[in-house]
Structure 1
Amino acid sequence: MRFIRKILLPFSLLYWIVTALRNFFYNTGVFKSAEFKTPVIAIGNLSTGGTGKSPQTEYLIRLLKDKFRIATLSRGYKRKSEGYILADTNANSDLLGDEPYQFYSKFPEINVAVDANRTNGITQLLSLEPKPEVIILDDAYQHRKVKAGFYVLLTAYGDIYADDYLLPAGNLRESRSGAKRADLIIVTKCPPDLSAAKQQEIIKKLRPLPNQKVYFTAIAYDVVVYNGVSSLNTTEVMAMEKVLVAGIAKPQPFFNHLKNDSDDCLTYADHHDFSDKDVKDILAVAKNKIVVTTEKDYVRLKDKMPTDKLFYLPIKTSFLDRGKEFDKAVLDFIAGYR
């Protein structure tokens, strides 16, 4: 792996030149960014994926939805539609993409929209009556055509951006200096018992600016798996023979949480569009066993498999400590607009 990285480093240098020039032009005002009078919160990362953006977006939705009219805006990765779309009762994963459809399915009371042109998407959302009071941009850290008022940067434990390289030698979309744009940095997917000493070691590596706070979160798995009509206790499911299916960037924690020695684990590419053949293959492996998948994969599979056969395991973001401090920082930002 190190040898391959060394071979690719010259190409990473070219990538750095392009992204550095782009950021320089935005930073100096040569390229213009749209700003809005409504609070806009951008969630993203420096790497290519697998940092837990969806759970963090859902955390903010839960924090804000009972206090403000909120909207989420995503590009709708791998959707089979184009342009601006506002989710309604006809929505599905093909129309919105898996993550926005997941947001809409769980929080139908909020506005969920997709548009690759984030400036247009925000403008369209603000034309609604009543208009949103807060807009959350999902996976928009590098989308500099919009200048958000508040940036939340995510980096995964065990794969922090300080230890990574630019594409293609590594997984970074832009150089580590891009972290300077963040208001808050969250190290995600941490062990729940991560010590204070280890946290400080990671903070030292990240080298945050004086104004940047660093927080640590873990993935909290639900105690129940669900489908459209019933649920099973997770402890019971762990002991059952089953098939585990995941089409996410880093599926191993999901597998490790549920699997036993008799289980089959089927891995697909992130945001995989399950074909009829894929479904037949899964059912052939499963036979009389249940299939348990991630929440993101469930929204793409639920209309293609028997309801009583397919279950999903919900997850949430859980702060190891200082969660209230994070909440206050977000709420204080919003209050500054009122």
Structure 2
Amino acid sequence: MFSNFFLRSFRILLLPVALVYWLVITIRNWLYNKKIYKSTGFALPIICVGNLAVGGTGKSPMVEYLLRLLENRFKPATLSRGYKRRTKGYVLAGDTTTALDIGDEPMQFHIKFPDVPVAVGEERVVAIPLLLQDKPETNVIILDDALQHRAVQAGLNILLTDSSNLFTRDFYLPTGDLRDLKSSYKRADIIVVTKCDPALTAAEKNKIIAEIKPLPHQQVFFTTTRYGKAYHLFTREIVNITMDMEVLLVTGIANPAHLKQLLEKHTASYQLLQYPDHHIFNIDDLKEIRKKFNTIDNENKIILTTEKDAVRLSKFQSDMHDDPVYVIPIEHHFLFNEGEIFDQAVLQFVSTVKPII
């Protein structure tokens, strides 16, 4: 609690820096709005999934949701920046690709959707033609975490915002978490409020919608996080998480709060080893994980991690194959029975979009 108070106080002291940051992104957006900076359109449907803040709002699970929706009807591909990869420029995932080549989230897409082209590139306006050259059958591209990258003109913009930290209540970096203007929400076609309480009421929903103030053309949806069965990192064996189990939670994600809440409800106890977002695990981390795990005095114990972390731990297969390391998948579940409405909005866009010249 003290450390959180200190962090909040320190961030408030950085308000002058936040105001400079706000000025910079205001000028940048103005240059795009006035078409001094150009946006490029492409002759196929492009869906952009993004947010206005740093940290986890559920972008990767949303990309996966879209891939499940589209892969049997169209020929989708994904394009990401490839954060914290050790390569530069455009890279298309292949049989020998690792997370070091393309980043953890794209690698996760590649593993879970092996028939879907997964590419990375810092300059998306350059990477898209290269992707289409390599995979000419592609007829829809999903841009991961690209709402603020306005060099590409997407036809459908999906904005995610965490219910516990709505963009309307946030402030600009480094005092807050916003990396883009609050007014940039107006560029979205669909707004998804994520990580909601499953028991969210219609009155609470309407209150949030009133706070967001969507434009007439914007649709607002609400999702909660749904967890799947935990499976072994290497053998894929399923394990049931039970109330007599103790868990060592190992994460390198921006916001593990919901996963911690899950373990508080469904396990005897848990301990946490939290690393920075997109952390690249090394042999010293492996030693630390094992040392921490061995301090747990319960035979019924496991190491639990996220799918994003799992792709960065998989390189230790020869060392960890027999360790009880399990992965817990997550996905979006739409509240108020509005999942089909969301699906139809996406499918209609992909089916009827006209080329952008």
Query: How would you bin the TM-score normalised by the shorter chain?
Result: over 0.9
Mapped pair 1:235 → 2:241:
yes
Residue 320 of structure 2 corresponds to which residue in structure 1? 306
Mapped pair 1:296 → 2:308:
yes
Mapped pair 1:167 → 2:173:
yes
In 1: Cα distance, 2:227 partner to 2:257 partner: 14
1:254 to 249, 259, 276: 259
| Aligned partners of 2:245 and 2:268 also within 8 Å | no
Q: Secondary structure of the equivalent of 2:303?
A: strand
1:38-76 alpha-carbon deviations (Å, 9 max, x no partner) = 100000000012101000010000000000111000000
Residue 108 of structure 2 corresponds to which residue in structure 1? 102
Deviation of the 1:34 alpha carbon? 1.1
Deviation of the 1:290 alpha carbon? 2.7
In 2: Cα distance, 1:314 partner to 1:270 partner: 17
In 1: Cα distance, 2:236 partner to 2:23 partner: 53
1:115-165 alpha-carbon deviations (Å, 9 max, x no partner) = 011011111111134431000000001101111111000000110000000
| Aligned partners of 1:59 and 1:317 also within 8 Å | yes
In 1: Cα distance, 2:236 partner to 2:62 partner: 26
Alignment of 1:251-330 (within 5 A): 251-259=256-264, 260-287=267-294, 289-304=301-316, 305-309=319-323, 310-321=325-336, 322-330=338-346
Mapped pair 1:190 → 2:205:
no
In 2: Cα distance, 1:63 partner to 1:210 partner: 26
| Aligned partners of 1:153 and 1:184 also within 8 Å | yes
Q: Secondary structure of the equivalent of 1:155?
A: strand
Alignment of 1:1-338 (within 5 A): 4-236=10-242, 238-259=243-264, 260-287=267-294, 289-304=301-316, 305-309=319-323, 310-321=325-336, 322-337=338-353
Greater mean deviation of Cα atoms: 201-210 or 225-234:
225-234
Greater mean deviation of Cα atoms: 248-257 or 71-80:
248-257
In 2: Cα distance, 1:179 partner to 1:219 partner: 22
Aligned residues: 337
| Aligned partners of 1:70 and 1:133 also within 8 Å | yes
* Closer/same/farther in 2, CA of residues 6 and 94 from structure 1, 3 Å limit: closer
Counterpart residue identity of residue 43, structure 1: V
* Closer/same/farther in 2, CA of residues 3 and 263 from structure 1, 3 Å limit: closer
In 2: Cα distance, 1:166 partner to 1:248 partner: 21
1:282-333 alpha-carbon deviations (Å, 9 max, x no partner) = 0112137431111110110122241232110011111113111111111111
In 1: Cα distance, 2:125 partner to 2:169 partner: 33
Q: Please list every run of 5 or more consecutive structure 1 residues that lacks an aligned counterpart in the other structure.
A: none
In 2: Cα distance, 1:230 partner to 1:62 partner: 20
1:148-196 alpha-carbon deviations (Å, 9 max, x no partner) = 1110000001100000001121110122101010000000011111111
1:252-278 alpha-carbon deviations (Å, 9 max, x no partner) = 211221353443211111111111101
Q: TM-score with structure 2 length normalisation?
A: 0.90
Q: TM-score with structure 1 length normalisation?
A: 0.95
In 2: Cα distance, 1:247 partner to 1:33 partner: 34
Q: Please list every run of 5 or more consecutive structure 2 residues that lacks an aligned counterpart in the other structure.
A: none
| Aligned partners of 1:125 and 1:131 also within 8 Å | no
Give the share of equivalent positions with the same residue, in percent: 45
